[in-house]
């Protein structure tokens, strides 16, 4: 795993090598950032964005955002092994004051996030986890998002998630086993 573009381009990212985690593949990450940069359906650009990287694992998405000059990135992870590697990645790759690591469950976002705080949300929950839908509802209810925002969800291609009643999917792309959903709150 590596940083695809920006100030940290080519730098390696440490990741967990086991059967219980699935890192975001470089090719999928590159496609996500290409869509963010070039789609007319998306009003937010990474440069100067406030990013919330939920279920961040070792931080691949948020680190890419830092490399591409995001204003700030908040990483949220509860798994100790992933947190250890995330902190090593942050030490190795950036001394930025633009980052914050929250060691908590994503669904507790209402406790520490502020109203209108973020405009880019990346959710990469375990494929078997459907709690992320509740997390999205908490974000919407507490208005943690800016008017111009984008939500990116990484799911397994075959997963049928019921998010349409409060979430407007704009783009859905499939890459091998992965499905990437770009959307906004209604």
Question: Tens digits of per-residue pLDDT, 138-164?
Answer: 999 999 999 999 999 999 888 888 887
Length of the chain: 186
* Nearest by Cα to 52 from 81, 76, 87, 85: 76
Round the CA-based radius of gyration of the chain to a whole number and report it: 15
Of 18-22, 73-77, 128-132, 169-173, the least confident? 18-22
Residue 143 Ramachandran class (φ > 0 left, ψ -120 to 50 alpha, else beta) = left
Report pLDDT for 19: 58
On the question of pLDDT at 20 being above 60, the answer is no
User: pLDDT higher for 96 or 72?
Assistant: 72
Please check the confidence at residue 119 and state whether its pLDDT lies above 90.
yes
Whether 180 and 173 have beta carbons less than 8 Å apart is answered as yes
Whether residue 173 is predicted with pLDDT greater than 90 in this model: the reply is: yes
Q: Distance of CA 132 to CAs 88, 105, 119, 163, 168, Å?
A: 26, 10, 18, 10, 16
Kindly tell me if the per-residue pLDDT of 66 is higher than 90.
Answer: yes
Closest CA to 166 of 130, 143, 144, 137: 137
What class has domain 26-185?
alpha beta
User: Domain boundaries in the chain?
Assistant: 26-185
Which range has the worst mean pLDDT, 164-168, 173-177, 181-185? 164-168
Tokens 């470089």: give the residue: 26
**H-state helical runs in the chain:** 26-38, 60-67, 80-93, 109-112, 132-141
pLDDT in the model for residue 18: 67
pTM of the model: 0.93
Which residue did the predictor score with more confidence, 64 or 130? 64
The per-residue b/e assignment along 61-79, b for 16 or more CB within 10 angstroms, e otherwise, is bbbbbbbbebebbbbbbeb
Residue range 2-30: average pLDDT?
Answer: 85
Placement of tokens 């990645």 in the chain: 89
Confidence of residue 5 (pLDDT cuts 50, 70, 90): very high
- Tell me whether strands 145-156 and 118-123 are parallel, antiparallel or unpaired: parallel
**31-63: pLDDT as tens digits:** 999 999 999 999 999 999 999 999 999 999 999
pLDDT band at 89 (very low <50, low <70, confident <90, very high): very high
């Amino acid at each position: 795993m590596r940083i695809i573009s920006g100030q940290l381009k080519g730098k390696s990212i440490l990741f967990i090598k086991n059967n219980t985690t699935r890192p975001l593949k470089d090719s999928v990450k590159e496609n996500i950032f290409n869509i963010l940069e070039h789609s007319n359906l998306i009003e937010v650009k990474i440069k100067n964005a406030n990013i919330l990287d939920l279920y961040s694992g070792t931080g691949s998405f948020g680190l890419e955002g830092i490399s591409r000059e995001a204003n700030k990135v908040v990483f949220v992870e509860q798994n100790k092994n992933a947190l250890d590697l995330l902190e090593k990645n942050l030490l190795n790759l950036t001394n930025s004051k633009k980052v914050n690591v929250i060691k908590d469950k994503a669904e507790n976002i209402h406790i520490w996030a502020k109203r209108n705080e973020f405009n880019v949300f990346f959710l990469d929950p375990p494929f078997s986890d459907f709690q992320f839908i509740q997390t999205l509802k908490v974000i919407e209810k507490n208005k943690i998002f800016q008017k111009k925002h984008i939500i990116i969800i990484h799911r397994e291609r075959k997963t049928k998630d019921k998010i349409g009643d409060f979430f407007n999917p704009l783009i859905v792309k499939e890459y091998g086993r992965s499905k990437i959903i770009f959307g906004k709150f209604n």
